Amino acid sequence: MPLQIGPTGFSLGQGEKKITQLTEVAKVDDSTGEVNEQYHDVIYLIHSASAPRLDTDGVERRELKVILDADTDSLLDKVDRVVYHLHPTFPNPIRTTRDHKRKFVLNTSAWGQFNLRADVYFKDSNTPPLTLYRYLNF
């Protein structure tokens, strides 16, 4: 059910499920026969921001660092590139990195909070890109 607004208030429906893992494994407990779902091979984004500094234009900015990380290094070995989609106010808001040694790092400066999208492309062309989101707050 989508967002509904009316005279008695509002309600939010269930959002679209975002996939952040490549595989989902169902394990059966031999003693009970119950199926316990476990997720593994999770890929995620991590960010850090420096203390604010006053830039030459008088705007307070922070140095921002975003990396791609995963439950296992072998999973990161499967990644070919990451395409970061910054807020449209950034110069060059779409940035691509293939820097596997530095966990596909994105370094930039920012003055506000925003949602970052990252498309993760794999070396295996049969694996569809994985889209991740990260709310960048400072």
Q: How far apart are CA 36 and CA 116, in angstroms?
A: 32
Phi, psi of 116 (to 5 degrees): -105, 135
Q: Checking DSSP bridges between strand 35-49 and strand 79-85, what pairing results, if any?
A: unpaired
pLDDT digits (tens, 9 = 90+) for 64-103: 999 999 988 889 999 999 999 999 999 999 999 999 999 9
**Could you tell me which residue, 127 or 26, shows the higher pLDDT?**
127
Q: How many CB atoms lie within 10 A of CB 136?
A: 19
Structure tokens at 11: 């309600």
